[in-house]
Amino acid sequence: MTDRPHKPDAIRKVVIVGGGTAGWMAATLFSKLYERAFEIVLIESDEIGIIGVGEATIPPIKRYNSMVELDEYDCLKAAKGTYKLGIEFVDWLHPGHSYMHSFGKIGQDLGWLRTHQYWLKTLQEGRAAPFDHFAINAVASRRNKFMRARADMTESPLGEIAHAYHFDAALYARYLRGLSEGRGVRRIEGKIVDVRLRGEDGFVEAVVMESGEAIAGDLFLDCSGIRGLLIEQALHAGYEAWSEWLPCDRAIAVPCASVEPLTPYTRSTAQAGGWRWRIPLQHRIGNGVVYSSQHLGEDEATAGLLANLDGEALAEPRVIKFTPGVRKEIWKKNVVAVGLSSGFLEPLESTSIHLIQSGLIRLVTLFPDRSFNKAVIDEYNRQTYFEYSRVRDFIIAHYKLNAREEPMWRACREMAIPDTLREKLDLFGATGQVFRFNEELFAEESWIQVLLGQGLIPQIYDPGVDVKTPEEIDRYLQNIENVIDKCVDVMPPHIDFVNHFCKA
């Protein structure tokens, strides 16, 4: 129990319902930041499997790692992880086409304008190099090279490498469990069979275990996955479905044996009725298909997935059913939903683990006392809904902008889209400009790469481009390509970097 004095209405006990990535990320963060200011209990059952397809991350995870003082190499060894420089999108615009959505910087701004504005002029004149050539992460990905950014090389692209990770989600959760338990988190094994609500206000008072033990708490985190044991089954928070824009409602996951080379990027390949993912780890490759059950049958989806594996399948395919969307209230009364219990967005841009992290950090920022002030809860819900809806828009853009001919893809091309996305697409399509609004997740560089990659070519480039002569523009773009090429030459192969620093 707590060994610190606290104000009378302070939270004294946090109960985390569910383990997996969400539960153990929560336990690790709280036990680190709050030390022993309150008791932390995590309940999980070895009998209940975790979804665990969220094996790819995006660069903001490094903020979480820093907050919990996690050692990157140590963690990747334990979770059999590899590095990630971006995502390759294959066949998304049309069969035979591919592009990289790479992390980090594109080129080097010239004056007040970004690289893509000058590139657009050369495209209009029919002499543009592939846009992938202007980002070090994209070029390194294509050549299977990797190194961490060199902090001492601020003037070089080698100082601007942005990275994330691929890892085994179950092993990552186990690693975090070790950290949490070392900091005083108590784990309780078993199944919850009932949830007790307080008579006067309907708050969760306790969860009841199969053994009959009742575990009470002040603040409950629902990390129980899609079923939402507390937030939905007990408190009926409601769900806002986004199926009108995101047609996929099934996923099938299967690991396979590793092959070389060890790629430092995730791959997403579009197909009739959906898309396939490929995530390279040290000991295996994570694969899956995300599809619309209206357009593709389970047997056909499974057969297509198995036929496209790089190596021998290592397990039976596992089917996951989902409805894309978000809870109407992610924090209700004294329950905060974290991870898949708060909403589900397909893993197209590897946002699942990020949404766990950002939800937890937001909760730290707006941490309650036992009065559970309504203004605090409302602000948390507003910010979380905003983040979910902007990630949703980014994912919808991949579907909307396509030139494929299968029924699902034609329907996506013709569908009405949210106004927030329509405004972004209209502006970019007119002028090549994109602006990051408020605290939305994806930076301008991400939007630029995906919109160009999906074939949305702006009608005009920025008039400021014509301040430079054609020769100056050519020299500027050629210089970016040459510098990036030389930088990638000195980077080691991804597999060598992994073997040297974090081999499992």
| Residue 17 and residue 132 share a domain | no
Which residues span the domain enclosing 268? 250-321
What pLDDT was estimated at residue 46? Answer: 84
In angstroms, what CA-CA distances link 18 with 46, 187, 221?
A: 10, 10, 9
Kindly state whether residue 283 falls inside one of the protein's structural domains.
yes
* 384 within a domain of the structure (yes/no): no
Q: Which residue, of 321, 348, 364, is where some domain finishes? A: 321
In-domain check, residue 208: yes
222 is a domain residue: yes
440, with CB counted inside 10 A (0-12, 13-18, 19+), is middle
Q: Give per-residue pLDDT as tens, 401-415.
A: 999 999 999 999 999
Mean pLDDT to the nearest integer, 55-61: 93
Q: What is the mean pLDDT of residues 475-484?
A: 98
Beta strand pairing call for 219-222 and 13-17: parallel
Q: Are residues 353 and 315 in the same domain?
A: no
Q: Are residues 328 and 210 in the same domain?
A: yes
pLDDT tens-place string over residues 286-304: 999 999 999 999 999 999 9
* Active-site annotation holds for 121: no
The predicted structure's pLDDT at residue 50: 59
State the total domains in the chain.
Answer: 3
pLDDT of 107-137, one tens digit each? 999 999 999 999 999 999 999 999 999 999 9
pLDDT at 371: 96
204 and 260 both lie in a single domain: no
- pLDDT higher than 70, residue 2: no
pLDDT of residue 5: 53
Q: Does 52 score more than 80 pLDDT?
A: no
3-state secondary structure of 490: helix
Q: What is the mean pLDDT of residues 347-367?
A: 97
pLDDT of residue 53: 54
Domain annotation covers residue 353? yes
* pLDDT value at 1 more than 50: no
Q: Are residues 21 and 148 in the same domain?
A: no
Same domain, yes or no: 421 and 461: yes
Judgement on whether residues 328 and 237 belong to the same structural domain of the protein: yes
Are 210 and 332 in a shared domain? yes
* 311's tokens: 């190596």
Percentage of residues of the chain with pLDDT beyond 70: 97
pLDDT in tens, 210-263: 999 999 999 999 999 999 999 999 999 999 999 999 999 999 999 999 999 999
Q: Residues 331, 229: one domain?
A: yes
Q: What is the DSSP-derived secondary structure letter of residue 217?
A: -
Which of 354, 372, 390 is where one domain is finished? 372
CB atoms within 10 A of CB 432: 24
Residues 308-327 have pLDDT tens digits of: 999 999 999 999 999 999 99
Classify residue 62: in a domain, yes or no.
no
Percent of the chain with pLDDT over 90: 95
Q: What is the average pLDDT across 183-204?
A: 96
Half-sphere exposure of 363 (CA within 13 A, CB side): 28
Q: Which of 321, 342, 361 is the last residue of a domain?
A: 321
The CATH number linked to 19 is: 3.50.50.60
Question: Of these residues, 80, 84, 121, 400, which one is catalytic?
Answer: 84
Check if the beta carbon of residue 252 is closer than 8 Å to that of residue 319: yes
Average pLDDT (370-377) is 97
Q: Is residue 92 in a domain?
A: no
Q: How many whole angstroms separate alpha carbon 275 and alpha carbon 246?
A: 12
pLDDT at 105: 95
Strands 343-344, 219-222: pairing kind = unpaired
Same domain? 238 vs 333? yes
What predicted TM-score, i.e. pTM, was given to this entire model?
Answer: 0.96
Instruction: Give residue-wise pLDDT tens across range 329-353.
Output: 999 999 999 999 999 999 999 999 9
Query: Would you say residue 29 has pLDDT above 60?
Result: yes
Do 187 and 263 share a structural domain?
Answer: no
**Position 84 in a domain:** no
Per-residue model confidence as pLDDT tens digits over 130-157: 999 999 999 999 999 999 999 999 889 9
pLDDT, the chain, mean: 95
Total residues found in the chain within this entry: 504
Same structural domain, 42 and 147: no
